[in-house]
Structure 1
């Protein structure tokens, strides 16, 4: 699967509230289980659509994206004071070992999935830290999101996480997406 990023010229689509049909803010919060002392990272944060849902519930949230232009759009929109933008690839995160209590990825796992990224994520999560993934499934129709040949199935994602030392607590397939909740 090839690496790609979301087209910055289509960034306004990342603010479309119909995205909640794939993952509601309430469901994300329920599986992430945030609290005010947590330090969390949104991997592939884009324009901060889901970042904004989590930020009020944590002490510090890193909005991580490989495209500075996405952060520029997020800055124009305005973001909560608990948010700090970080330009980085998931395979090379600028955090200390065990610096994060949790991380989440919404519709971006297919953009960074790989051994190096999962090993890096395992490094920066504290022992017991959670990783929540909701992404487009390879078994979906492909009417939204990336082409199906650029996606992973829930089984592939769960296996990759287990191979990287994660314990998969929940893995479920949906119509167009999958959900994995794992911990280190």
Structure 2
């Protein structure tokens, strides 16, 4: 599978709630992050949105964490987000997931919405195991290889839920849930 990122010139297309929430709701991301918190209203200290792009889902995470790191490899996506308006507790980080600038165990959780196919590699999975606090949730939703390819990247650039599960288990993650859905898959795991 080749390295693929979303065309930054089309970033405005990522700001359509009627399309984005059709595939992944804010609740599906936030629920697993807060599941380990002392109460449903407890804020997390530090969470990363991997492949944050225009900040569409980052904005949903912001009210639930002290700091949210919007991680994206494309500086153009951060520029779009800055023009849109970045919440005060969001820090934008230009980085590849395989080389994150965080200390060991620094993150209380991480999410990836429709970007796993962009960074899926043993190096990225190992890096996530390093930067997530033991037991911290990792929530991944992406376009599924089982989908028809009408939406999202071409089928040859996609993974199945089982591929993500295998990669995560290889690094010691505990799988909480894994499911194939219409066009997408979802995996929730806990860091080793």
- Report the TM-score range of the alignment, normalised by the length of the smaller protein: over 0.9
- Superposed displacement of residue 9, structure 1: 1.0
Partner of residue 131 from structure 2, selected from 124, 127, 140: 124
Provide the TM-score with structure 2 as the length reference: 0.94
Question: In structure 2, how many angstroms separate the alpha carbons of the residues matched to 1:44 and 1:37?
Answer: 20
- 1:73 aligned to 2:80? yes
Provide the TM-score with structure 1 as the length reference: 0.97
User: Counterparts in 2 of 1:1-184, with a 5 A limit?
Assistant: 1-17=1-17, 18-33=19-34, 35-184=42-191
Question: In structure 1, how many angstroms separate the alpha carbons of the residues matched to 2:182 and 2:28?
Answer: 16
- Superposed displacement of residue 57, structure 1: 1.0
Structure 2 SS opposite 1:59? strand
- Superposed displacement of residue 118, structure 1: 0.3
Question: In structure 2, how many angstroms separate the alpha carbons of the residues matched to 1:133 and 1:36?
Answer: 20
In the alignment, structure 2 segments of 5+ residues that lack a partner are none
- Superposed displacement of residue 30, structure 1: 1.3
- Superposed displacement of residue 38, structure 1: 2.4
Question: In structure 1, how many angstroms separate the alpha carbons of the residues matched to 2:73 and 2:6?
Answer: 10
Checking the alignment, whether the CA contact within 8 Å between 1:56 and 1:80 is kept in structure 2 is no
Structure 1 SS opposite 2:108? strand
Superposed structure 1 runs of 4+ greater than 3 Å apart: none
Structure 1 SS opposite 2:185? strand
- Superposed displacement of residue 27, structure 1: 2.0
Question: In structure 1, how many angstroms separate the alpha carbons of the residues matched to 2:166 and 2:45?
Answer: 27
Root-mean-square deviation over aligned CA pairs: 0.9
Checking the alignment, whether the CA contact within 8 Å between 2:32 and 2:139 is kept in structure 1 is yes
